[in-house]
């Protein structure tokens, strides 16, 4: 199994891992928010050299990466040093990339503090930064030595960030089972009622674990995890370029609506779960700020997706919940029709 630890005491687990891991120096990477809200939940960090970067996905840049490298270098890090990434997906992605490339690779541990990072970014070994206006354009596959999952950190999140992570949970449920999908659509994440989320979270992460173990470098089955992401990444990049950045999970949620619609017209996905999922997403995630005049720009962004082969835009679609159809393509008109469905719901 992948090195994932579920705990209600991240500090104790981290202490045990560090004690068992040979190292000559310790570093901890946070963004400004997690340094303020989450670092105090991990006492006894005096032995760590703290590295901070600005918050938000707009900081997932070459400039921030260079800053982390510089701080490691100035702090005397060697190939035997240890970096702890404490934060959301931006921190675990960027910190994992920094650790994997500094001195050709140092050991790192991920402690995700957002729901999105717990179910997606910190698990599976994908690290990287945004580049040239495109999401996750530069990076490497590199697994953390350990990933520590502690739901106590979720109490620091607002509703929007909980919903952002929940979109990835819905995606995992769609590629896994009807029962899990139905359970998720009966709950809305709320920081005042996180108790139901714990058991669902563990089950959900295990879906990704199984897939990543079977296909660590995305040669086949792991492409299942791209459901919702071909359109979602395009919407996210479009919003970023327009100066109206959206949370990753919101873009994925909208991408799910489009790609389930494509599934319905291309691979026979049933209309009832399509409309139920779309209704849930419209109710809780709203709709993206796009118009018909933006479709060609969105299509162009989809052509840059890393899953593509040649000039074709690649999609992961479903024939039914839990029934995958990998390496699917769609025409320009079909993609525009899916974007119409996202905007109009008809």
- Torsions phi, psi for 8 (to 5 deg): -110, 15
Count: domains in the chain: 2
Q: What is the dihedral of CA 183, 189, 195, 197, to 10 degrees?
A: 50
Task: Give 267's pLDDT tier (boundaries 50, 70, 90).
Answer: very high
Q: What is the CATH number of the domain that holds 129?
A: 3.40.50.1970
- Together in a domain, 163 and 147: no
Looking at residues 249-277, what average pLDDT do you find?
98
- Together in a domain, 45 and 126: yes
Looking at residues 106-133, what average pLDDT do you find?
91
- Is pLDDT of 191 > 90? no
- Burial-class residue 334 by CB neighbours within 10 Å (0-12, 13-18, 19+): middle
229 near 175, Cβ under 8 Å? no
55 near 245, Cβ under 8 Å? no
Final residue before a domain boundary, out of 102, 131, 156: 156
- Together in a domain, 339 and 284: yes
- Is pLDDT of 79 > 90? yes
User: Tell me, what's the pLDDT at 40?
Assistant: 92
Chain mean pLDDT for the chain: 93
- Burial-class residue 119 by CB neighbours within 10 Å (0-12, 13-18, 19+): buried
Query: Percent of the chain beyond pLDDT 90?
Result: 79
Q: What is the CATH number of the domain that holds 236?
A: 1.20.1090.10
Looking at residues 157-168, what average pLDDT do you find?
95
Final residue before a domain boundary, out of 136, 156, 176: 156
User: Tell me, what's the pLDDT at 190?
Assistant: 87
Domain hosting residue 27, numbered range: 4-156
- Is pLDDT of 218 > 80? no
- Is pLDDT of 346 > 70? no
Tokens of 71: 């701080």
- Together in a domain, 31 and 119: yes
What's the Cα-to-Cα distance from 243 to each of 4, 81, 84, 212, 298, rounded to whole Å?
A: 36, 38, 31, 34, 15
User: Tell me, what's the pLDDT at 1?
Assistant: 52
What's the Cα-to-Cα distance from 332 to each of 35, 298, 313, rounded to whole Å?
A: 45, 11, 10
DSSP code per residue over 145-195: SEEEE-GGGGGG--HHHHHHHHHHHHHHHHTT-HHHHHHHTT----TT--T
What's the Cα-to-Cα distance from 183 to each of 130, 139, 204, 284, rounded to whole Å?
A: 34, 34, 11, 16
- Together in a domain, 292 and 243: yes
- Together in a domain, 301 and 340: yes
| Residues 271, 214: Cα–Cα separation, whole Å | 30
- Together in a domain, 28 and 143: yes
- CA 294 to chain CA centroid, Å, is 25
Task: Give 310's pLDDT tier (boundaries 50, 70, 90).
Answer: low
- Closest Cα to residue 117, out of 69, 61, 62, 162? 162
Which of the residue ranges 144-148, 213-217, 314-318 would you say has the lowest mean pLDDT? 213-217
- Together in a domain, 115 and 89: yes
- Torsions phi, psi for 315 (to 5 deg): -125, 150
Final residue before a domain boundary, out of 156, 190, 206: 156
Task: Give 47's pLDDT tier (boundaries 50, 70, 90).
Answer: confident
- Whether pTM > 0.75 for this model: the answer is yes
Looking at residues 9-21, what average pLDDT do you find?
93
Secondary structure, 3-state, 108-130: EEEEECCHHHHHHHCCCCEEEEE
| Residues 317, 319: Cα–Cα separation, whole Å | 7
- Together in a domain, 252 and 332: yes
- Burial-class residue 265 by CB neighbours within 10 Å (0-12, 13-18, 19+): middle
- Together in a domain, 16 and 73: yes
- Together in a domain, 203 and 268: yes
């Amino acid at each position: 199994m992948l090195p994932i630890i579920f705990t209600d005491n991240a500090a104790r687990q981290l202490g045990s891992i560090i004690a068992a891991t040979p190292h000559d120096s310790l570093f901890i990477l946070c963004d400004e928010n997690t340094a303020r809200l989450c670092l105090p939940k991990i006492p006894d960090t005096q032995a760590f050299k703290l590295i901070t970067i600005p918050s938000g996905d707009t900081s997932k840049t070459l400039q921030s990466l260079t800053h982390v490298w510089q701080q490691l270098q100035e702090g005397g890090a060697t190939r035997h040093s240890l970096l702890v990434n404490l934060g959301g997906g931006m921190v675990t992605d960027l910190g994992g990339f920094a650790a994997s490339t500094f001195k050709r690779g140092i050991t790192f541990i991920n402690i995700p503090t957002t729901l999105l990072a717990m179910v997606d970014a910190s698990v599976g070994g994908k690290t990287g930064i945004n580049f040239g206006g495109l999401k996750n354009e530069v990076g490497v596959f590199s697994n953390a030595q350990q990933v520590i999952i502690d739901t106590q950190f979720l109490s620091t999140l607002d509703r929007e960030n909980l919903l952002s992570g929940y979109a990835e949970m819905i995606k995992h449920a769609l590629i896994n089972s009807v029962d899990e999908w139905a359970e998720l659509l009966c709950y809305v994440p709320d920081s005042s009622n996180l108790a139901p989320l714990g058991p669902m979270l563990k089950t959900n992460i295990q879906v990704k674990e199984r897939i990543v173990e079977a296909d660590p470098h995305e040669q086949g089955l792991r492409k299942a995890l791209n459901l919702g992401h071909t359109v979602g990444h395009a919407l996210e990049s479009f919003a970023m370029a327009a100066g109206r950045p959206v949370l990753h999970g919101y873009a994925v949620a909208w991408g799910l609506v489009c790609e389930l619609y494509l599934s319905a017209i291309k691979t026979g996905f049933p209309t009832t779960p399509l409309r139920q999922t779309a209704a849930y997403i419209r109710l809780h995630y709203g709709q993206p700020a796009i118009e018909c005049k933006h479709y060609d720009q969105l299509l162009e962004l989809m052509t840059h997706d890393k899953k593509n082969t040649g000039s074709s835009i690649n999609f992961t679609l479903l024939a039914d919940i839990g029934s995958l159809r990998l390496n699917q393509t769609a025409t320009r008109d079909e993609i525009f029709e899916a974007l119409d469905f996202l905007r109009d719901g008809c």
